[in-house]
Amino acid sequence: MNAQAPTGTQAPTGTPAPTGFGRGLSSQARNLHWLLTNLVDEVPGIRSVAVVSSDGLLLLASDPGLAADPGPAEGTDRPDESGPKGSSADLATVVSGLASLTNGAAKLMDGGVVKQTMVAMDEGSLFVMSISDGSLLGVHATPDCDMSVIAYHMALFVGRAGHVLTPELRTELRQSMENAQ
């Protein structure tokens, strides 16, 4: 996908909904998914992305088909997928837990509101950014990613998506993720 980034939250006219997503969803939900898909497709180094509600529930993911990946039978290895253990649910759990930990640390240190968290690992990077409604944007990236480019594009996503994440849209997105399972 090599589409121009939109100035608002609306996908370009004529843009089809992503495969397997969007049937019966509002235009705001489809547009938000388009923004997420565009983020993954256009920014080098991104492995997976998750939007998580303030209560830790997965709202939107770059791989919604893996939202409830139960994993392999005991004693088998999980395939090396794009996200943490290949599951958006795993990424959502990590993002939610990390945000809780950093928010607690900020309170203890009188640091104010946490805006962004970044974890650099040997085999990848994890970025967590707050969205205005208390939701979180989490990105799992490759170890050689350009961190400033990813942070910039995450900020663009948050700016475009933050004002549309109404309680009604969050409910719709949660239901669509449950239905994808």
Q: Is 95 part of a structural domain of the chain? A: yes
Domain that holds residue 161: 45-67+83-180
Rounded Cα distance, 126 and 59, in Å:
18
Look up tokens 């088909």; give the residue: 65
Report yes or no on whether pTM surpasses 0.85: no
| 6 domain-assigned | no
Domain count, the chain: 1
In tens digits, the chain (181 residues) has pLDDT values of 344 444 444 444 444 444 445 567 899 999 999 999 999 999 999 999 999 998 889 999 987 544 444 444 333 343 444 444 557 889 999 999 999 999 999 999 999 999 999 999 999 999 999 997 789 999 999 999 999 999 999 999 999 988 888 889 999 999 888 887 6
Phi, psi angle pair for 49, to nearest 5°:
-140, 145
Nearest 5°: the CA angle 115, 121, 124 is: 90
* CATH at residue 61: 3.30.450.30
